[in-house]
Structure 1
Amino acid sequence: MGACKTASTCSPDEAQGTHVFNILGYSKHRGMGSKHDCYIRSKSFTVGGLDWAIRFYPDGLETQDHISVYLELLSKRTKVRASCDLRLVDQCTGLSSSVHKTGPRLFSFDDSTRFAPQFSELKKRSEIEGEGSVYLRDDRLTIECMVTVMEKPHVADTKPFPKIDVPPSDMTADVGRLLEEKEGFDVTFIVGGETIEAHRFVLAMRSPVLKAELYGPMREARPGQYITIEDMQPAVFKALLHFIYTDSLPRDTDLEGHKDTDMVQLLLVAADKYALERLKLVCQSILCEGLNVDTVAMTLALADQHNCHKLKDACLEFMEISDDMDAVVATQGFKDLKATCPSLIVDALEKRRKFRKA
């Protein structure tokens, strides 16, 4: 079952408002001075539940070459995230153009951040009062200020993430049906006097050895001819074919129940012969789980003969920690191993000696 994936969404909530401040008789307000207290303040307006105002300095603030305009937070003991857009209105078209944008940032009533912008030179006086200026008509200047207050973000409820379930792969089932339905066979094997049919392309796809035999320069048979398999029982070859087609062991055997050890051993030999490495590992795993004092010596010999290094190590480790080595030594498998491959016995006893010392 796949991991559950859910999603939630955070979206900003904001309040927005625009205040229009008309400065009539613009020229008559000149001469106030360029100090901090020489300004005209608009009436307060509310955005996001807070009070704001526009400050206009006709003679500029600290410089007379520019006019100065500020947005001011009026609500006391308040901190809020907000942005603003100060604009001047074209008196001919009624359209406005931005001259300054701030934020989003923190506005705090208790310090200088209650003002925006943070500088005094908003617009050159010559651009407003000069000939051809569109901002000043009939001695009137119009300032717009758009304020956006960032409120607490809205987080939507958790929802399951959209997903489309994909069923497990059924390719092996489809290939397995080729063997069950007995259609399209194009190669025949004679195993222990029994005739067994199969598909060349499936065998070649799964086994490099069979691919060489069926399609290589030294191929054993052409369509319509027979391939004889020596030294293999029909049941083992059928189990081998079942694994080739389905990547699993036959259900009608007790191979995975560890009872038919002889069949697993024969299947391991067949897997080694046809270079079916995964089947070889499956057989090693079954034999490893079934190790006991009666089977360990025989399994060790088999592992050594067919280059099953993991199974060989498992057998040596079993002997190393076994509490009943006398029973192992008494088995026919141990006697055969001692006669055919004494070096393995030496390895096993040496490992056991070191283990006992430790």
Structure 2
Amino acid sequence: MANPKPGLDSASSSSFISETVNGMHRFTVQGYSLAKGMGVGKYIMSDTFTVGGYDWAIYFYPDGKNPEDNSMYVSVFIALASDGTDVRALFELSMVDQSGNGNNKVHSHFQRALESGPYTLKYRGSMWGYKRFFRRNLLEASDYLKDDCLVMYCKVGVVRNHLECPKLRTISVPPSDMGKSFKELLDSEVGWDIVFHVGNEKFKAHKVVLAVRSPVFKAQFYGLVGDCNIDKVVVKDIDPFIFKVMPLDPFCLPSKEEK
């Protein structure tokens, strides 16, 4: 198949992936009537919970967060409760409809992510939420308050980025054991085709292995003036014990062929 881009011999690829690590926390406020009236800017805090490697906490202000614009509302915020800078995340705060009808009051940053992107928290204590989460008189007359109890959920999605590159598959190659295999072949005498007579002892071997390991034997067995039909070599002037342990490279011995 023709190369679609002339001059391009090879190509590589990579992918930058952004995704969210999501988690949720349920926060229950029991005794709402006792918390009400604690003062503007005063809050009730949930236990900390961890999402995406960071700690978070829900802040509920029964009398509103600021007096100038929301003292008639309850305020709800989610805050970064651990050290971190420029933590990008998506949030969803919801108050549960305890009538069972499922009409939860939801403020979600997840739904607006395509338009505005994730919210960035600059430092520990940074918050996201709503000063005017719910008008207080409407809340107290609604099904969100039951048995003097409020139930809230907070969903956090911490943005994680990573670069993904195709992984090269590798095959682990074990160390060579060819020497061991050749020794086993020699010891077994299977397939031998030549015998060395050294003193009163005989040593059976394989001509092709000898030829690979020794240029002398290669020329003697397979050279232009060699004889591939040799099946016996008499080796003189060397002790059989020395012959057995000596290396084959180079293997140049005084010898006499007998047919």
TM, length-normalised to structure 2: 0.53
Partner of 2:62: 58
The answer to whether the 8 Å contact 1:74/1:109 transfers is no
Name stretches of at least 5 consecutive residues in structure 1 with no aligned partner: 160-358
Which has a greater percent of strand? 2
Alignment RMSD = 2.4
Which has a greater percent of helix? 1
Matches within 5 A, 1:1-358: 1-2=2-3, 3=5, 7-35=13-41, 38-62=42-66, 63-93=70-100, 95=102, 96-101=104-109, 104-109=118-123, 114-117=126-129, 119-130=130-141, 133-157=142-166
Displacement of 1:61 in angstroms is: 1.4
Write the distance in 2 (CA, Å) between the matches of 1:94 and 1:73: 32
The answer to whether the 8 Å contact 2:16/2:161 transfers is no
Q: Which digits, 9 at most, give the CA deviation of each residue in 1:71-125, with x for residues without a partner?
A: 0001124331101000111112284441343751211225x7x1002x5212211
The answer to whether the 8 Å contact 1:100/1:122 transfers is no
Write the distance in 2 (CA, Å) between the matches of 1:94 and 1:6: 54
The answer to whether the 8 Å contact 2:14/2:163 transfers is no
Write the distance in 1 (CA, Å) between the matches of 2:65 and 2:78: 14
Write the distance in 1 (CA, Å) between the matches of 2:134 and 2:83: 29
Write the distance in 1 (CA, Å) between the matches of 2:94 and 2:72: 19
TM, length-normalised to structure 1: 0.39
Q: Which has the higher contact order (CA 8 A, sep 6+)?
A: 2
Displacement of 1:152 in angstroms is: 2.0
Amino acid at match of 1:98: V
Write the distance in 2 (CA, Å) between the matches of 1:73 and 1:98: 20
Q: Secondary structure at the match of 1:91?
A: coil
Write the distance in 2 (CA, Å) between the matches of 1:65 and 1:47: 32
Name stretches of at least 5 consecutive residues in structure 2 with no aligned partner: 111-116, 169-259
Displacement of 1:153 in angstroms is: 2.9
Count of aligned pairs: 152
Q: Secondary structure at the match of 1:121?
A: strand
The answer to whether the 8 Å contact 2:40/2:61 transfers is yes
Q: Secondary structure at the match of 2:139?
A: helix
